[in-house]
Homo-oligomer: A and B are copies of this chain.
Amino acid sequence: MQPIIIVRLRDKAEQAVHHIVGKSGHHLGNMRMQPSPNNQIEMLRQMQTIRRFEERASDDFHAGDIYGVVHCYIGEEAVAVGVCSALERDDRITSTHRGHGHCIAKGADLNRMMAELYGRETGYCKGKGGSMHIADFSIGMLGANGIVAGGIPIVTGAGLAAQLDGNGGVAVSFFGDGASNAGPFHESINIAAKWKLPMLYICENNLHSANTPASKTLALEDVAARAAGYGIPGVIVDGNDVMAVHDAATIAVARARAGEGPTLIECKTYRQSGHTERLEAYEHRTSEEIDLWKKKDPITQFANNLIQREGQLSEADWKQMDDEILQAIQASVDFAKASPFPKPESALDDIFAQ
Contact = CB atoms under 8 A, between A and B. Distances in A.
A186 B187 CA distance: 9
Contact of A229 (B191, B194, B217, B226): B226
Contacts of A187: 181-183, 186
A183 B191 CA distance: 12
A219 B226 CA distance: 12
Contacts of A217: 190, 194
Given A182-B187, A183-B182, A186-B185, A228 B231 contact: no
Interface string A187-216: 101110110000000000000000000001
Contact of A190 (B189, B219, B232): B219
Given A194-B216, A194-B218, A226-B228, 14 more contacts: A182-B183, A183-B184, A186-B186, A186-B187, A190-B218, A191-B219, A193-B219, A194-B217, A219-B232, A225-B228, A225-B229, A226-B226, A226-B230, A228-B228
Contact of A219 (B181, B182, B194, B220): B194
Interface in A144-192: 181-187, 189-191
A220 B216 contact: no
Contacts of A216: 194
A179 to B, nearest CB: 11
Within the oligomer, what is the number of copies of this chain?
2
Most chain B CB within 10 A, of A218, A219, A227, is at A219
Interface in A212-271: 216-220, 225-232
B231 A220 contact: yes
Nearest to A221: B231
A1 B226 CA distance: 11
Nearest to A184: B183
Contact of A186 (B183, B218, B231): B183
A193 B226 CA distance: 13
A257 to B, nearest CB: 20
Contacts of A186: 181, 183, 185-187
Contacts of A190: 181, 217-219
Nearest to A216: B194
A106 to B, nearest CB: 28
18 contacts: A181-B186, A181-B187, A181-B191, A182-B187, A183-B186, A183-B187, A186-B187, A189-B219, A190-B217, A191-B219, A193-B220, A194-B216, A219-B229, A219-B231, A220-B230, A225-B228, A225-B229, A228-B228
